[in-house]
Structure formats: C-alpha cells, structure tokens
Amino acid sequence: MGRYFRETRTTLVQVADLVALVLNWGWRMPGKMVRPTRADLEPYANVAAKLQYRGKPTKGRDGKRYPVYGLCFLNDLRPRGEKVSLEPGSVLGDNR
C-alpha cells in the first residue's frame, strides 16, 4: 500500500476513502443492513452518517414521490440481467 498510496492519492481522496471505510464497517441502515458492525468504528460512523445529504422528494417513473438521500443501500451490484434467482427451481436454488 505504502508508496503507491502516498504518491497517487491526494489528502481529500484519502479522507473520502476513510469515511467510506468507516461507514461500510461501522454503520448500518436500519431495516436493510443486518450484518454486525465493528464496535470500534461505530462512533466515527455515526458522525459520518449525520453528514448524509437529504434532498427534496422527486417524482419517479410511476408518478410517486421518493426522497433523495446521499447514502443508499445496494444489496447486489450486479445488473438485473446477471442476477440469478435463488428460488426453488432456479439454477442456484435447485437442491439436487
């Protein structure tokens, strides 16, 4: 990590990386994220979470209004076409 990290990263990029790391390991979005956090990072993560952007609701494709947040939960990063159902009878859900 040493030399590359020092030469190619500016201070602000390093700060953004640290905030992302602290949020990922020390903060959970209520009702969506269920895995445990690292207790040593929780105080810092709670402070970082308070910096979250909260915008005015925008109208979606279905006509409903949805709030805009700076932090969001992505359960699966794969595009819809690459996701495989885990339901019985699907490729991964088949218990043979």
Question: pLDDT by residue (tens digit) across 5-50?
Answer: 566 668 888 888 899 999 999 999 888 888 899 999 999 999 999 9
Strand partners, 69: 54
Structure tokens at 47: 């402070």
Mean pLDDT of the 38-65 span: 90
Question: pLDDT by residue (tens digit) across 40-51?
Answer: 999 999 999 998
24 SS3 class? helix
Structure tokens at 23: 């949020």
- The rounded Cα 23 to chain-centroid distance in angstroms is 8
Q: Is the pTM of this model over 0.85?
A: no
**What's the confidence (pLDDT) of residue 60?**
81
CA-derived radius of gyration, the chain: 19
Mean pLDDT of the 65-77 span: 83
